[in-house]
Amino acid sequence: MRTRRSAITVSEIGDPMMNLTKRKKKMKYEKIEGVKPDDDTPNAVSSFRISIPLKEALKEKGIESLFPIQAMTFNAVLDGSDLVGRARTGQGKTLAFVLPILESLSNGPTKASRKTGYGRAPSVLVLLPTRELATQVFSDFEVYGGALGLKSCCLYGGSPYQPQHVQLKRGIDIVVGTPGRIKDHIERGNIDLSAIIFRVLDEADEMLRMGFVEDVELILSKVRDASKVQTLLFSATLPDWVKHIAAKFLKQDKKTADLVGNEKMKASTNVRHIVLPCSSSARSQLIPDIIRCYSSGGRTIIFTETKDSASKLSGLLPGACALHGDIQQATREVTLSGFRSGKFSTLVATNVAARGLDIDDVQLIIQCEPPRDVEAYIHRSGRTGRAGKTGVAVMLYDPRKSNFSKIERGSGVKFEHISAPQPADIAKAAGAEAAEKIAEISDSVIPVFKAAAEELLNSSVLSPTELLAKALAKAAGYTEIKSRSLLTSMENYVTILLQCGRPMYTLSFAYGVLRRFLPEENVESIKGLALTADGKGAVFDVAAADLDNFLAG
């Protein structure tokens, strides 16, 4: 993990949060100074009050320096301050609370307060919106906390209650879980929150979106003495409810660390944001070509809006698996494990996977249609370009139905508009891949196929180069090159530009021009007629098989 050397702004959340509280007394905020990452002072792990066992655990994971959000918040959390942390997706928010909490419990100011022994009540409670995110955060606590002798457990729905109850009964230091299951254990009397020292609300904005408002407020209010509890809140965005939670449950002298501030760009700056016109019927044909062009051999996550479409699309893509809420938890875990380990490279998911997945080398994100809100786009596209790496996010849209201008304005993204990869370009890329594979074949196979190759050379009128080109095409799965619409990405359609030397202000005018020169049956066969942005022409699709007849009039 390398230090990100860029300008960091630390800002207060300020008035919106204060307006939501009924207290008339002005709330106090304090900026975090932290360790500033620059060329002369990198955020080296050795620069922080981190014990040797924890340093060694970080080193084993290849972590030698902290990300900005981690560096800025470490001292504040270790010294006991409540905190609101805000950073873009993929900037390391998880370790920003995991590291100082563990250090405080094992060697810091809360060590004496932590319960020990069999049946001990937990010292830390971490709430997260999804099972996947809870599992990921639990994994970090398990790895780094285990190095310090601290025990963690993960509580989420879809798993049996009894094993979770047994873990809690034997004693635990850190409880990580989703609001629904945590609430259930509280109501069953399985969790004792009387000894809580830290409570953490991660991905708070997503808690709101998923309807956990009442559960979260109930759980946070269950501590015995709030004045003795340190509360940390992390969120990529700050909707009103998140500000309300911070005002209600965090101390007045809370500190804030904001790496987003008033910057217009809210989506990841390490991601190339692309939009591409595509009708729903063309998705299954187009997506494999997008993967071939933009995945760079890395992993791909495809987001769909429904469980049914995720299942169907994964069945059409070679080497793809689906991930959504109807899949059994054990199967979900196997699927995520296989994706992380590289057993398959494409994951087709609903929004259940949009938050919290931190998987290396996710090079490409494909969204099958514009999401309903800006935050969803930010979170989904943020699954790539993580940990300082770059990535590509492609969003498909139906020109007749979709409007992504709201997302462009709200996320601060300037979308790059492209047309669908054309079959000839895809074939060239596939041919290059086939040539690489042929070069890797052992020379031991040559004697077996040499006679057939010589016979083909002698019987064909094509040159050796032309025959080899056809062999590469076959190896790449091509027997012909199909055309593809630039408007809808439909295969076997061709896009035509119509101009008549004068502006075209309406579709009726464009249809009138076509009817002056073409038979009515030709005009009726066109698809997707649309005016060009400059108003000087119109574009439309015709079936490739009808192109010659169409142009002949």
345-390 confidence digits (pLDDT tens): 999 998 765 555 667 778 999 999 998 888 788 888 888 887 678 8
Range 405-429 average pLDDT: 80
Q: Determine, yes or no, domain membership for 10.
A: no
Instruction: For residues 319 and 372, state if they share a domain.
Output: yes
Structural domain containing residue 381: 271-422
Give how far Cα 354 sits from Cα of 211, 350, 470, Å.
Answer: 16, 7, 42
CATH number of the domain within which 245 lies? 3.40.50.300
CB distance 173 to 122 below 8 Å: yes
Instruction: For residues 363 and 453, state if they share a domain.
Output: no
State the pLDDT at residue 445.
Answer: 82
Instruction: For residues 132 and 234, state if they share a domain.
Output: yes
State the pLDDT at residue 4.
Answer: 38
- The confidence band for 151, taking pLDDT boundaries of 50, 70 and 90, is very high
DSSP 3-state assignment of 102? Answer: helix
165-182 pLDDT per residue, tens? 999 999 999 999 999 999
DSSP label at residue 207: H
Which one-letter amino acid corresponds to residue 219? I
Angle at 421 between CA 414 and CA 474, to 5 degrees: 155
CB-based burial label for 119 (10 Å; 0-12, 13-18, 19+): exposed
State the pLDDT at residue 356.
Answer: 56
Instruction: For residues 508 and 395, state if they share a domain.
Output: no
Instruction: For residues 359 and 447, state if they share a domain.
Output: no
Residue 82 has pLDDT above 90, yes or no: yes
DSSP class per residue in 152-163: EEEE-TTS-HHH
Listed residue (12, 551, 464) closest to 260, CA to CA: 12
Task: Kindly state the tokens that stand for 354.
Answer: 């949009």
- The confidence band for 73, taking pLDDT boundaries of 50, 70 and 90, is very high
Instruction: For residues 31 and 66, state if they share a domain.
Output: yes
CATH number of the domain within which 545 lies? 3.30.70.2280
Task: Tell me how far apart the alpha carbons of residues 114 and 123 are, in angstroms, rounded to a whole number.
Answer: 6
Query: Whose structure tokens read 């810091």?
Result: 108
Task: Kindly state the tokens that stand for 451.
Answer: 């006679």
What is the pLDDT of the chain when averaged over all its residues?
Answer: 83
259 compared with 23, residue with greater pLDDT: 259
Helical pair 179-187 and 213-220, crossing angle rounded to 10 deg: 50
Q: What percent of the chain has pLDDT over 90?
A: 31
Total number of domains in the chain: 4
Residue 113 has pLDDT above 80, yes or no: yes
17-59 pLDDT per residue, tens? 333 333 333 334 444 444 444 444 468 898 999 999 999 999 9
> Beta strands 198-201 and 124-127: pairing type?
parallel
Q: Determine, yes or no, domain membership for 156.
A: yes
State the pLDDT at residue 13.
Answer: 33
Q: Which of 258, 284, 319 is the last residue of a domain?
A: 258
262-312 pLDDT per residue, tens? 665 567 778 999 999 888 888 888 898 898 888 877 899 999 988 888 889
Q: Determine, yes or no, domain membership for 483.
A: no
Residue 506 has pLDDT above 50, yes or no: yes
